[in-house]
Copies of this chain bind each other. A is one copy, B any other.
């Protein structure tokens, strides 16, 4: 059975998130149903590099899909995109993957962007894509605070209660905060993240940006290993899954 690798772009707004659940339409369901339409009605299983929450977007999510039917990757991309209409979900690239490859477990680095719209007026053009914070943020202080979180740590303080990971230890490779016009961007990279880790980091860095907490505070929260010490969970709509890197080359088409 051929295994396909798919790079996905989606607007997370209308979905309950990546994973199938009874409460509404998931990205997984739309993709699997499009796969079934190509495979004589047999429902395939899709596995994603990251199980994004409801409202979280993707420019470069990667999923695997095993189909009974063998097709050229570019034809598969076109056919899936046809069947996924009109949902805001598309396959940007497709490839035939090695049988040993797994979209989730073969990933060696994942990258996310968190966007904060930092101005008085609520968003009109970017509604649903940014977290609106009207009070002025000090992005340089947020960046300085973020640097204290890099490296391998127990991130229990930044982990959702519902997180199912076996260990709270993660290695944060990048956590950059920068101002770009009216926006403050947070770029985060790690091999993998805990559930809500980036949104909890964003909510905690916000306190520093507002001047309510000092630059050392997010590090102290980390060391406490106590979720109740951290800031709020930032809303999902500011978050976009940007890319996944794999150890082995995938011949994307």
Contact = CB atoms under 8 A, between A and B. Distances in A.
Given A92-B119, A119-B92, A125 B9 contact: yes
A160 to B, nearest CB: 25
A83 to B, nearest CB: 12
A119 B57 CA distance: 19
A91 B121 contact: yes
Interface string A102-144: 0000000000000000011111110100000000000000000
Nearest to A121: B90
A127 to B, nearest CB: 6
A77 interface: yes
A59 interface: yes
Nearest to A134: B78
Contacts of A127: 11, 88
Interface residues of A, number: 23
A90 B122 contact: yes
Interface in A22-71: 57, 59
A11 B120 CA distance: 18
A175 to B, nearest CB: 23
A202 interface: no
Interface string A69-113: 000001001100100010011111000000000000000000000
